[in-house]
Amino acid sequence: MHHPPPDPTRPPLLAVPDIPAAAPVGPGDTFGHPGASAHASYRRRRAAEWRLYQRTLLLRLAGVALTGLVATLAVGQVAPALAGWAGLVTAGLVGWRLRFRVSQDARNWQRGARGERRTARQLNRLARYGWVVFHDLAVPDSRANADHLIIGPAGVFLLDSKNWRGHLAFAPDGTLWHGSYPLTATLATIGFEAAAIAGALAVPGLAVEPLLVVHGSTIPWGEQYLGGVAVLPASRLVATLLALPVLLTDQQVTQLAGRAMARLHPAL
């Protein structure tokens, strides 16, 4: 596969110190499990909510039985033939309202895991172009995790996947919002994670570029660049990366990927 010629306006990467990787690494390789941390968080929250629900289960069952009995007695005074059906229907409706339901917070983690897996399917297309892809890495000196780290001819990029609904919009002060939530803190977090990973790789002259990859929401004017973070729809991700000028040779990609393998670790 032929890449575009190097861009003379972008300085070449300095020599990458050689650190033996835990396993052989080469262009086109993929490591990690996309969405693993988010899915684990969803399961932990769901389990905690289920335990809390179980504490009130007997009360809920008693409430269902009591409302069914009251309905049976009440209807029985007017239409005895329908009393049994009225009790069953009432108990069923109350039971449905009192059923176990996972909170919106937990579902957001599940939705986020789906978004990471969707991004991973997009990134699989980069393998034939000499990119190395890492999923779900622990961010050094932090409790956060990096959704995707990709290393290829165009450089090193940290991707954060968001699986949202609705539109993104600008406020009068120029900040970008998702619904009623400003994205200032989100963009700052992605920038921090990119800087932390660049520090862990410790290669002079290396910049890890942060990208916010959005599924499901419309971005004003198609894409944005705010606070040092590129915000773009998932549908444009691969095309955008492949259109960038070449910065790294295949050997540098392999060296950097090996260094990432040695210095970074899975989040789980």
Here the contacts of 191-194 (C-beta below 8 Å, separation 24 or greater) are 191/227, 191/228, 191/229, 192/142, 193/139, 193/142, 193/144, 193/146, 193/158, 193/160, 194/158
Q: In tens digits, what is the pLDDT along the chain, a chain of 268 residues?
A: 444 544 555 545 556 666 555 556 777 888 999 999 999 999 999 999 999 999 999 999 999 999 999 989 998 888 888 888 988 999 899 999 999 999 999 999 999 999 999 999 999 999 889 999 999 999 998 888 999 999 999 999 999 999 998 889 998 888 999 988 999 999 999 999 999 999 999 998 899 999 999 999 988 888 899 989 999 999 999 999 999 999 998 888 998 999 999 999 999 8
| Element housing 159 (H / E) | strand 155-163
Both tokens of residue 122?
A: 């997009």
C-alpha angle 243-247-250 in degrees, rounded to nearest 5: 100
CB 55: neighbour CB atoms within 10 A? 8
- Provide the token pair at 132: 């190395």
**Reported pTM:** 0.84
- pLDDT of 23 reads 59
